[in-house]
């Protein structure tokens, strides 16, 4: 099965960091096993080496979910930089790469699925959702409660 995922990418760049020449960037995407870059030559370019310090003790809070019809809603979590959204067929499904739907920026506090499963077939029946919050240093929270959505 070839899994496809549509996502929205965003970042915050302070205006003071943008020169007259603009900014250079690259995108790295991974499904946990495979990595891909855009532009493809990015890993071979000298300027792609980035050093970051992370505080592994700085885990974010898990969101508290509720469902209103087919929309899942949560309140903001303190250190969240984005939220990862997972979907499964049972309340205690395993949230991993196979159940990952998408992620949304920290200002997004609700989500309505596009009503297609991972094979692009229409979703019907009961589905469950869980969300994690992820901080700027990629520390992921524990899983949220699961909520049921019926289509």
Q: How many domains does the chain have?
A: 1
Asked if residue 72 is part of any domain, the answer here is yes
The residues with which 132 forms a beta bridge, in sequence order, are 84
Q: pLDDT at residue 47 above 50?
A: no
Asked if residue 127 is part of any domain, the answer here is yes
**Average pLDDT score, the chain:** 79
Q: Which of 142, 122, 146 is nearest to 133 (CA)?
A: 142
Host domain of residue 73: 65-150
Please tell me which residue, 148 or 41, carries the higher pLDDT value: 148
Asked if residue 146 is part of any domain, the answer here is yes
Q: What is the C-alpha separation between 18 and 122, in angstroms, rounded?
A: 43
Contact predicate 141/61, CB 8 Å: yes
Q: pLDDT at residue 12 above 90?
A: no
Confidence at 51, pLDDT banded by 50, 70, 90: very low
Q: What is the C-alpha separation between 119 and 141, in angstroms, rounded?
A: 28
Lowest mean per-residue pLDDT among 20-24, 50-54, 61-65, 70-74? 50-54
Asked if residue 130 is part of any domain, the answer here is yes
Q: Which of 118, 126, 136, 148 is nearest to 12 (CA)?
A: 136
Asked if residue 29 is part of any domain, the answer here is no
> How far is CA 111 from each of CA 52, 85, 91, 129, 140, rounded to the nearest angstrom?
30, 9, 18, 10, 19
Q: pLDDT at residue 9 above 50?
A: yes
Domain holding 98: CATH number?
A: 2.60.40.10
Asked if residue 28 is part of any domain, the answer here is no
For the ranges 8-17, 58-67, 105-114, the maximum mean pLDDT occurs at: 105-114
Instruction: Please give the average per-residue pLDDT across 40-67, as a whole number.
Output: 64
Asked if residue 44 is part of any domain, the answer here is no
- % of the chain beyond a pLDDT of 70: 71
Going along the chain, which residue ranges are E strands? 27-30, 35-38, 65-68, 71-74, 82-88, 100-105, 110-112, 126-134, 147-150
SS3 17: helix
Asked if residue 6 is part of any domain, the answer here is no
């Amino acid at each position: 099965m070839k899994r496809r995922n549509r996502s929205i990418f965003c970042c915050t760049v302070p205006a003071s960091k943008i020169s007259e020449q603009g900014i250079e960037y690259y995108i790295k995407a991974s499904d946990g096993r495979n990595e891909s870059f855009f532009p493809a030559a990015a890993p071979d370019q000298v300027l792609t080496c980035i050093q970051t310090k992370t505080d592994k003790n700085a885990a974010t809070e898990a969101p508290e979910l509720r469902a209103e019809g087919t929309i899942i809603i949560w309140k903001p979590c303190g250190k969240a930089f984005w939220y990862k959204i997972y979907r499964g067929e049972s309340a205690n499904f395993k949230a991993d790469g196979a159940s990952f739907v998408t992620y949304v920026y920290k200002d997004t506090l609700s989500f309505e699925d596009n009503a297609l499963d991972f094979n692009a077939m229409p979703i019907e029946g009961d589905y469950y959702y869980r969300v994690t919050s992820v901080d700027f240093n990629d520390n992921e929270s524990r899983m949220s409660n699961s909520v049921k959505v019926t289509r």
